[in-house]
Amino acid sequence: MIALKNVSFEYNSIERSAGVYDINLEIPSGQVLMLCGASGCGKTTITRLINGLAPAYYPGDLRGKLLIDGTDSSGLSLYELSQKIGSVFQNPRSQFFSVDSSSEIAFGCENTGVEREEMYRRIGRVARDLHMESLLDRNLFALSGGEKQRIACASVAAMQPEIFILDEPSSNLDLRTIADLKEVIRQWKTQGKTVIIAEHRLYYLMDLIDRVIYMEKGRIIRDLSVEEFRNMDERELHQKGLRSQKPIHFEVKEDKLCEEDVLRFTGLSFSYGKNEFLDIPEMQIPYGAIVGVLGYNGAGKSTLANVICGLEKGVRGSLHYKGKEFSAKKRRKCSYMVMQDVNHQLFTESVLEEILLSMKEEGEAAKQRAGEILRDLNLTEFQELHPMSLSGGQKQRVAIGSAIAADRDLLLFDEPTSGLDYLHMLEVSELLKRLGREGKTVFLITHDPELLRECCNYLLFLDKGRLSWSGAWTKENTGRVNRFFSAE
């Protein structure tokens, strides 16, 4: 179905010349293949070459030959390729064309002339397959990141292509939605579709994939059967920057947090239009805690972060901190948030300037501290590059660096390890723990169980805009987290 013969590709960009080199890869029809490796290893570039976005949309120098179902892809237009290949990107917003969910699912079918009745049938079928009937006829701007990812999957499935390409499809999904995604991939496999998945999360794919391609620095290092891959032990996986193959188990932790000195939120409520979306009568957080904010997609986690930062209008309630009451305006001055989509907060012409932009210091002192932050996040080699030229995981680390540089008392991170490999996840975890030791209070919205286990010492669980439970890693709370992360 797919053949790459002596393929090399380098981006035509002053800022970034990374690419892939000497790729020889044949993917038979009906195979489910996983591309894995550290952030920036070339996984996404391989997917762009197959679906034609490189070099058509991402210009660069392409050498070698790429065949799709026996046809040289260089002679096919993007329109022709899109009828054979469906792609789900790491950031689903980048592939949306409509403002409501049903129109978005129908968009591809409309563009290829599918009859109206057949289009309706397809929308209904993919909505049932993805258990997302409740997401139909919804405003895309009002959906959570995970819900948007499900809409992206549905819009591609409605096209009924022969090849599916998924780039980090689980990065913003909760465990329940990952289980739905897994079943959809299983259906595609049963239907004989060819599926290529570039992914950091491994465990949910272990009984689906047929083959694993491991990459380093733009080259294929190992081509493994799933049996060979399963035989790799955890230590070897982590050394290669890969996540665990098995579900994560949590244990009770003893962590000394002073629960007398707390941030106290009272009467927090917020509505989108007439719909009440957040209702938390009281919430208390110990100073210096690293708070894991948990809940299913659409539970209100990102909305809570916006409310804490003072970024939403019409919010009722108050924050009491160090003996003072903080209005929304004051909260904006003492807090900093790294958004789920970091493209919204990268403004400058270089990585170094992006870090300096957040700093109170000036001159040499600022540059010295910025250099330390870049070293801690393994970004020194990219400091002169444009932030938008980086990979998704690298952009994520730049945004995290900006938050650290801002030196605010309240720091909020919305899925900070989306697109990060195991080693970079550990680096982020160490930085977050250091912030906690420095007295910063960190809110961490995450579906990443490895990050949660590594650094969080306090927990909040939201359900439909309400605080279901909170507290430290007691036996009861640990059991709750284990049940949440084993949800199927």
In angstroms, rounded to a whole number, what is the distance separating the alpha carbons of residues 244 and 257?
Answer: 29
Point out the domain boundary residue: 180, 207, 239. 239
252 inside domain: no
pLDDT of residue 460: 96
Point out the domain boundary residue: 184, 205, 239. 239
Residue corresponding to tokens 């975890």? 429
What is the chain's mean pLDDT, rounded? Answer: 90
401 inside domain: yes
State whether 105 and 177 are in the same domain: yes
DSSP string, 135-171: GTT-BGGGS-HHHHHHHHHHHHHTT--SEEEEESTTT
Better pLDDT: 213 or 83: 213
State whether 370 and 429 are in the same domain: yes
State whether 155 and 287 are in the same domain: no
State yes or no: pLDDT of 295 exceeds 70: yes
278 inside domain: yes
Provide the percentage of residues in the chain whose pLDDT is more than 70.
Answer: 98
pLDDT of residue 326: 85
State whether 435 and 333 are in the same domain: yes
The upper half-sphere exposure of residue 180, i.e. CA atoms within 13 Å in the direction of its Cβ, equals 21
Cα torsion 199, 31, 227, 207 to 10°: value is: 70
Starting at the earlier edge strand, list the strands of the sheet with 71-72.
19-27, 2-11, 60-68, 71-72
Mean pLDDT, to the nearest integer, of 367-371?
94
State whether 267 and 155 are in the same domain: no
State yes or no: pLDDT of 94 exceeds 70: yes
pLDDT of residue 258: 67
**Whose CA is closest to 36, among 175, 228, 168?**
168
State whether 153 and 288 are in the same domain: no
State whether 154 and 87 are in the same domain: yes
pLDDT of residue 452: 95
pLDDT of residue 15: 46
CATH number at residue 139: 3.40.50.300
**Angle 335-339-345 (CA atoms, 0-180°, nearest 5)?**
90
State yes or no: pLDDT of 1 exceeds 90: yes
State whether 226 and 172 are in the same domain: yes
Lowest-confidence region among 121-125, 170-174, 201-205: 170-174
State whether 80 and 216 are in the same domain: yes
State whether 195 and 302 are in the same domain: no
State whether 457 and 340 are in the same domain: yes
Point out the domain boundary residue: 204, 239, 274. 239
In total, how many domains does the chain have? 2
Provide the percentage of residues in the chain whose pLDDT is more than 90.
Answer: 62
State yes or no: pLDDT of 148 exceeds 90: no
What range does the domain containing 86 cover? 2-239
Q: If 0-12 CB within 10 Å is exposed, 13-18 middle and 19+ buried, where does residue 275 land?
A: exposed
277 inside domain: yes
486: confidence class by pLDDT, cuts 50, 70, 90:
confident
475 inside domain: yes
State whether 191 and 122 are in the same domain: yes
214 inside domain: yes
254 inside domain: no
212 inside domain: yes
The upper half-sphere exposure of residue 224, i.e. CA atoms within 13 Å in the direction of its Cβ, equals 19
Mean pLDDT, to the nearest integer, of 426-431?
89
305: confidence class by pLDDT, cuts 50, 70, 90:
very high
316: confidence class by pLDDT, cuts 50, 70, 90:
confident
